Chains A and B, each alone.
Chain A
């Protein structure tokens, strides 16, 4: 019987491992659809960003209430997972609370602390459910969240609530069983779960043993299932926020990424010496599809938490235009997932006749951007939607000559009058002669 449980546990673990591995490989190859770019400079600054922003949640705290609630869930996640380690060892070895004898009195302190976190997580998840569904925080109501994204947000919160409840019930029944059987290691009194003891007190020992085991299994299967689930969800940010902040751009926000291909061409047009060797594949100018973006842009899309802080600061969005930087990130991710799914089935992948620009994101959206960097500033995981928007503008302008007509005249003015307006270049200095 004991072995049966261990074998079962091993099978469950293997199944979860199989699915997680499969998804990790898929996600990685989706990200690698992006253009290569080597980032190995300023490791110290990058590490600092990662520690402050991803680990230390620095940018979250611009909005204190959600940041505090989020912090409970985050700390709960990090720390309660230490307990999962014990679960896994117990599950494989057929032991019960294997750490307890080794760390003695500390075990009780730790368990009490975990329970406190479980309560904090429960509280925060309830508060978030209320914010999402009852008080309706505006940035969580946008149309791009309709369907799966909204369900995803609610599902995660509900799953966490159930998992926390399972832990507390398990601990409560365990505490009663400790008084009834030698097998159950004494943990000392656990504050929060002891509130549940009166509800379970009168249950017979076998039923109680069943409840304890059931909650144990429920919790660990829940956690493993959740691990598979998050690879399909915006919750991937709990892992990808770390590399994403590490690889985030360090240059001033106003600086637009240079295009060395263009530099080479312009230099040769002007008869200036070009030192750079021509790259093998010229590729497209700008981005029409995800493979025209860099792998960091694509990883960013998988790191997006869909929190909408970017969109709620976007001047275009605030004034009712179609642009939403969050939607841009979600579009990139949707496109990656669609291409990935197609490739998995041996399908056309990127050549399915669709593209990021046109089928997912429209010109109307990208044309509305004022490049103000509000979205970049707001993002708690250092995503840069603006970079992607500008790459798409480059494609439209240089490959399609499809920029808005007024922009095309502006281009023409710069070419012929060296100013964006149609003034004679010889009048440029007239201001110095007008009045005093």
Chain B
């Protein structure tokens, strides 16, 4: 696995095509780190010239803003923007819909203007361009997969089809949950809920959603967000189905079929 930092590349007089924004979950959470690595392997395999910020990256400020702490959000944003602008970054790809949304929609007003791409769109593009060659009848052929829409990709940014196209390229049997696309049910982690206990209720949101996903009979629940990953995995565990049902990120599924 080859992961250049932008500082190293520039020191060598090179400029990356894209900056891979890893995000806090992708950097620290064990499960999400596997997605980060899978995505890097894909980038390596197709030969995309990319770089990461490494230790210079910090939280985008998304959870602070959504929990109401606008000061903290803007402090984070301004610092990140000055680093990104300092490296003259033009194009960013990220595997986290929350980072994606913040970088794409919320940084411009504070002086950070970049082309921001979510990894589902990016991978779909690689497949369409023939850079990733999907063979018919791969290991997912005929297997039931269901896709859980991340609110921050779907409703927040209207990205519904790219992740589905990636899954369809697996030659799998894509089954939809009753609540999907615009009416998809949140995993329960957005809006900074990831960082606190839920309020009192009858049920946790991720359990409700996991039940719905399991009801499709799919053996793989595909996600495209590190928070959805945690919430859906916990839900599946709670239903004691972790033996039969996998929760996987799109990048992992592609890396797997490509033998990376």
Contact = CB atoms under 8 A, between A and B. Distances in A.
A370 B158 CA distance: 18
A230 interface: no
A425 B55 contact: yes
Interface of A: 251-256, 258-259, 262-263, 265-267, 269-270, 272, 285-286, 313, 315-316, 318-323, 364, 367-374, 376-378, 390, 393-398, 403-404, 406-407, 410-411, 414-415, 418-421, 423, 425-429, 431-432, 434-436
B156 A253 contact: yes
Given A251-B105, A316-B199, A420-B24, A258 B55 contact: no
A428 B156 contact: no
Contact of A411 (B24, B72, B109, B157): B72
Given A252-B105, A259-B70, A370 B190 contact: yes
Q: Which residue of A259, A377, A406 has the most chain B CB atoms within 10 A of its CB atom?
A: A377
Interface residues of B, number: 72
A429 B78 contact: no
Nearest to B100: A254
Nearest to B24: A419
A394 to B, nearest CB: 4
Interface of B: 1, 3, 5, 22, 24, 26-29, 33, 36-37, 40, 52, 54-55, 57-59, 61, 63-72, 74-76, 78-79, 101, 104-106, 109-110, 151-152, 155-158, 182-183, 185-186, 188-205, 207-209
Contacts of B33: 431, 434
Contacts of A267: 78
B240 to A, nearest CB: 20
A370 B186 contact: yes
Contact of B78 (A254, A272, A428): A272
Contacts of B63: 410, 414, 420
A141 to B, nearest CB: 16
Given A397-B68, A423-B28, A428 B199 contact: no
B204 A319 contact: yes
Contacts of A313: 183
A258 B109 contact: yes
A427 B30 CA distance: 13
Contact of B198 (A263, A321, A429): A321
A254 B196 contact: no
Given A370-B188, A414-B59, A321 B201 contact: yes
A415 to B, nearest CB: 7
A431 B101 CA distance: 24
Given A374-B151, A431-B36, A421 B1 contact: no
Contact of B27 (A406, A419, A435): A419
Contacts of A373: 151, 155-156
B157 A252 contact: yes
Given A269-B75, A377-B182, A436-B1, 6 more contacts: A252-B104, A254-B156, A315-B188, A371-B66, A390-B68, A434-B33
Given A266-B75, A319-B204, A432 B3 contact: yes
A270 B55 contact: no
